[in-house]
Amino acid sequence: MKERRKFRTLTCKKYFARIVTSKKGLRKKGADMNYIVFDLEWNQCPYGKEQENRRLPFEILEIGAVKLDENKNMVDSFQEVIKPAVYKKLHFHTREILDLDAAVLKQGCPFPKAVKKFLTWCGQDVKFCTWGSSDLVELQRNLKYYKLLSLLKGPIFYYDIQKLFGLVYEGEKTTRSLEYAIDFLEEGKEGKFHRALNDAHYTAEIFRKLPQTVIEEYESIDCYQNPKSKSQEIQMIYPGYSKFISREFLSKEDAMKDREVTRTKCFLCGETARKKVRWFSVNPKSNLCLAFCPEHGYFKGKIRMKKTDEGKYYVIKTLKLIDLEEAASIRERKELLTKKRRMKRHQEKEEKIGKGGKTSLYGNASKSKRK
């Protein structure tokens, strides 16, 4: 009998968010890592989605951040109001929540200058922390619009404080508001919400209360700058599930033909988990499967298709350890979808025959029988 292979996790180069501000942008030996807890406020097209700039749906109006050392002690803060250049009139929703008037914005700093100041202030060896995943995406999208994306290398490993708050205090990932979390933890409200620096302070206070073990176990990955080649693909293992982020493909079909994308490997022992229900499409963006490892049980496989700004595709695949009940629900879901699609095809065929006025599925009932 062959000796069981030892499990070898796929190594993943954990990129800290590397900030490139000059040709001398190398970290000095002995420099400490800092947490950058930041928040952005932004505007959108006031005339509706039809007239928005597709390259910049959200324009940043304010950057606020606090810097914490490795022990989560606050060491500095940053704030910059940005002069709008794309959407000079505020959207009605922005006016409702943002405590910034047009006069203040008009005196703001142009985005290229403001963001360079911010990234220089951040320093070289930092880990970003945000409330939710949107801020990092919009920061990079604004950088890209101004052809400055090279200042911030990705993919970016960061801490999503909103997700971590849900896991620690509610036992699951949630999308609670920042104000809800502050009220839940009975923190004082010293400044208005929806001002970037105030929100950064509130987020930092929540971050400081989270157990370090949970923070490190549930590190998030921002893939706005997704892996481009096979050597850059990412494999991560979390408590109870694994995550794989693929390179780019020209189409969804090409992605689903890739062996690594469709492979189901038990992240606990490293052996192949054989598929009991093959990959099936749930909707245009998601696929599911059911796999089984003789030693560790059932796994739910999920593939999410992500489209880049350039029209290419990459995959985020998760394999989650599940119980028998959830395994049965996946089987039922596959059977139900198969039945619905079969009925739909049958109905479409009937409609096509009906429009043609020729034969039915059971022969030409309209013609009289030949004698």
Q: Strand, helix or coil at 348?
A: helix
Q: Strand, helix or coil at 144?
A: helix
Contacts of 328 (CB under 8 A, 6+ apart): none
Length of the chain: 371
CA atoms of 46 and 88, how far apart (whole Å): 9
Mean pLDDT calculated for residue range 15-44: 62
Encoded tokens for 7:
């499990």
Please tell me which residue, 16 or 210, carries the higher pLDDT value: 210
pLDDT in the model for residue 31: 58
pLDDT in the model for residue 357: 56
Q: What letter would DSSP give residue 77?
A: E
Among 338, 335, 358, 356, smallest CA distance to 346 is for 338
Strand order in the sheet with 313-322: 234-238, 241-245, 313-322, 297-307, 286-293, 274-283
CA atoms of 59 and 62, how far apart (whole Å): 9
188 pLDDT band, cuts 50/70/90, is confident
Mean pLDDT calculated for residue range 54-63: 97
In the chain the domains, ranked by start, together with CATH numbers, are 17-222 (3.30.420.10), 230-330 (no CATH)
Does the pTM surpass 0.95? The reply is no
CA atoms within 13 A on the CB side of 311: 0
Dump pLDDT digits (tens) for 227-248.
Answer: 999 999 999 999 999 999 999 9
